Amino acid sequence: MARCTVMEKVRLDKWLWAARFFKTRSLAAKAVSGGHVHVNGQRVKPARLIQIGDSLEIRKGELSFSVEVLGLHDRRGPASQARLLYEESAASMARREELRAERRLITAAAARPDRRPDKRERRKIREFIKKQ
């Protein structure tokens, strides 16, 4: 983001890519088209122009982000610069932290074997699966 120009509006898919919510612009466009991104509470198209002050609701899998646009850029730069383009709401961060804690508890409660099955045990497992 060395060459920073003053912009009034940017395409939504470009901004999502520049702000590092999605790895590629095409993934960002698919998410917007699929209804996973809302601008000011409305479902929009990838070419929608956003401006400073817009609020975005972004869903990526289980994660949900509520952000306000603080800056505009149409080029991808370092993560430290991308973080300056938006501000996430406290409620959104709290929801994500709760989900993270729940996932941590679920994985901790799952029983894991002490070791991998050896050759004989694998044969028995395959034989058992074939019978069903």
Model confidence over 48-107: pLDDT tens digits?
Answer: 999 999 999 999 988 999 999 999 998 999 999 999 999 999 999 999 999 999 988 888
pLDDT at 5 (0 to 100): 52
The DSSP-derived string for 101-125 is HHHHHHHHHS---SS---HHHHHHH
| 6-10, 98-102, 113-117: range with lowest mean pLDDT | 6-10
Distance CA 45, CA 61 (A): 19
Q: Where are the domains of the chain?
A: 10-110
Check if CATH label 3.10.290.10 holds for domain 10-110: yes
CA 1 to centroid of chain Cα atoms: 22
